[in-house]
């Protein structure tokens, strides 16, 4: 086999392979053996059909079998580096005693990661956040343990209402007939909540709703309206919250411990998020424009096959905008994936079997199975194992980067300003 690289750009190669008569004959013999296992021709014993007979009988199909064998040989020769995308045969033919095959390769790219020891991350000063956490939890507990005073007047925001909800189908069949309690809050945008405002005990609210082409009738009877009276923050309130609290200060200390645990977990995730963003911004992936274009085409094709393309074009405001967003998305995904693996290689980070088993134990309660069963699932299901291994590797890599980078504490206001975000505000 002769090999000629016709074109090369970063991770992209167009390679031409030329096979001589002996190599073609070897591929023909292999194709003959395979076809003998698949077909029968009257007058010949199964598995003993001569090559020339198969050539005549199958014509172009036999030639395609031969070319497939040669293509496989060429690809196996080339893929010493892993392939990012499936190799594509762009041309193949057997003519004048020679086979010529051209194959496009999109190999895994070279990856460079910036110096993360120079990375600067921000976390919020602890003291102010803990105070806010304690204040918020105390308010939540006051809401939870509010005294209820039945009222004859109209329901208002802030009141608790007890209702009986009856739901019937179009033919009058009752599918729900239960009692519920609701605290009426302005942020609750369900229509029936707003309909209950101004109603009194004994009043009824009725409406229809359509769901999956079926009509349902709702009847909500107001069984009682209760004013909620928040308790004072004192020692008696602490005892109501839990028998273990003799004083309000004891309750606050417990909430402070909870707040510190919450702070540590939240800050760890916030630092990981920042480190990942830094990694994506500072990872270079040497990709040919041909590879990028093919990935873009593949993703667009999948969206069309799934029937999502037209809706996304509308959402993004045009085809070019969608293609731009699609390209940015898969490039960021590549930078994340290759960046994580590159740092893992540089730092010698691996995931051990013990770490996988420990994670499986922690996930067992979420999965609703015993720890032993969770371990067996991770061990025997390659897809779950791969996903779990990747999640662990990603977190270990980000933690290693954080350890080598610089972490500065800033005020909450400075942090909000740096991330520009209501989104982060909600997260914390």
All structural domains of the chain with their residue ranges = 2-108, 147-229, 254-427
217-248 pLDDT per residue, tens: 999 999 999 999 999 999 999 999 999 999 99
340-367 pLDDT per residue, tens: 999 999 999 999 999 999 999 999 999 9
Q: Which fold has domain 254-427?
A: Trigger factor, domain 2 (1.10.3120)
What does the pLDDT average to over 123-149? 93
pLDDT at residue 424 is higher than 70: no
Predicted confidence band of residue 428 (pLDDT cuts 50, 70, 90): very low
* Helix, coil or strand: residue 69: helix
pLDDT given at position 76: 82
380-408 b/e (C-beta count within 10 Å ≥ 16 → b): eeeebbeebbeebbbebbbebbbeebeee
What does the pLDDT average to over 192-196? 89
pLDDT given at position 80: 61
Predicted confidence band of residue 184 (pLDDT cuts 50, 70, 90): very high
What does the pLDDT average to over 150-170? 94
What does the pLDDT average to over 394-415? 94
Indicate the DSSP class of residue 405.
S
CB 62, CB 55: distance < 8 Å: yes
pLDDT given at position 415: 87
Mean of the per-residue pLDDT values of the chain: 92
pLDDT given at position 416: 85
CATH architecture of the domain 147-229 equals: Roll (3.10)
In 160-317, alpha helices (H): 191-196, 235-241, 248-281, 289-305, 309-316
Q: Which fold has domain 2-108?
A: Alpha-Beta Plaits (3.30.70)
pLDDT given at position 47: 87
pLDDT given at position 27: 94
pLDDT given at position 331: 94
pLDDT at residue 28 is higher than 80: yes
């Amino acid at each position: 086999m002769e090999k000629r690289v016709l074109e090369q750009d970063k991770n992209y190669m167009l390679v031409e392979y030329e096979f001589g008569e002996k190599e073609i004959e070897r591929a023909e013999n292999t194709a003959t053996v395979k076809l003998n296992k698949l077909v029968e021709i009257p007058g010949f014993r199964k598995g003993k059909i001569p090559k020339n007979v198969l050539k005549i009988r199958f014509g172009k199909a036999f030639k395609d079998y031969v070319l497939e064998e040669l293509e496989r040989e060429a690809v196996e020769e080339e893929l010493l580096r892993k392939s990012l995308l499936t190799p594509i045969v762009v041309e193949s033919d057997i003519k004048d005693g020679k086979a010529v095959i051209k194959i496009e390769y999109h190999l895994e790219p070279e990856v460079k990661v910036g110096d993360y020891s120079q990375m600067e991350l921000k976390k919020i000063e602890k003291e102010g956040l803990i105070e806010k956490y304690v204040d918020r939890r105390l308010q939540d507990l006051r809401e939870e343990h509010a005294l209820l005073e039945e009222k004859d007047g109209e329901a208002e925001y802030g009141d608790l209402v007890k209702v009986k909800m009856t739901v019937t189908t179009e033919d009058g069949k009752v599918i729900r007939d239960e009692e519920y309690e609701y605290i009426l809050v302005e942020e609750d945008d369900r229509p029936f909540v707003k309909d209950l405002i101004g109603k009194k005990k004994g009043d009824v609210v009725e409406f229809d709703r359509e769901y999956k082409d079926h009509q349902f009738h709702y009847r909500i009877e107001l069984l009682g309206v209760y004013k909620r009276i928040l308790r004072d923050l004192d020692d008696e309130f602490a005892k109501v919250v839990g028998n273990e609290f003799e004083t309000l200060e004891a309750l606050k200390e417990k909430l402070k411990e909870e707040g510190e645990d919450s702070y540590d977990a939240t800050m760890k995730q916030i630092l990981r998020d920042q480190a990942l963003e830094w990694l994506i911004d500072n990872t270079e992936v040497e990709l040919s424009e041909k590879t990028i274009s093919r990935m873009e085409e593949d993703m667009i094709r999948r969206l069309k096959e799934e029937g999502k393309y037209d809706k996304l074009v509308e959402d993004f405001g045009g085809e070019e905008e969608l293609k731009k967003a699609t390209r940015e998305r898969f490039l960021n995904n590549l930078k994340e994936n290759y960046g994580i693996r590159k740092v893992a290689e540089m730092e010698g980070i691996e995931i051990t079997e013990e770490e996988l088993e420990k994670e499986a134990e922690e996930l067992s309660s979420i999965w609703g199975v015993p720890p032993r069963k969770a371990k067996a699932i991770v061990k025997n299901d390659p897809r779950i194992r791969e996903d779990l291994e990747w999640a662990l590797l990603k977190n270990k890599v980000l933690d290693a980067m954080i350890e080598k980078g610089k972490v500065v504490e800033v005020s909450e206001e400075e942090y909000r300003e740096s991330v520009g975000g209501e989104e982060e505000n909600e997260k914390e």
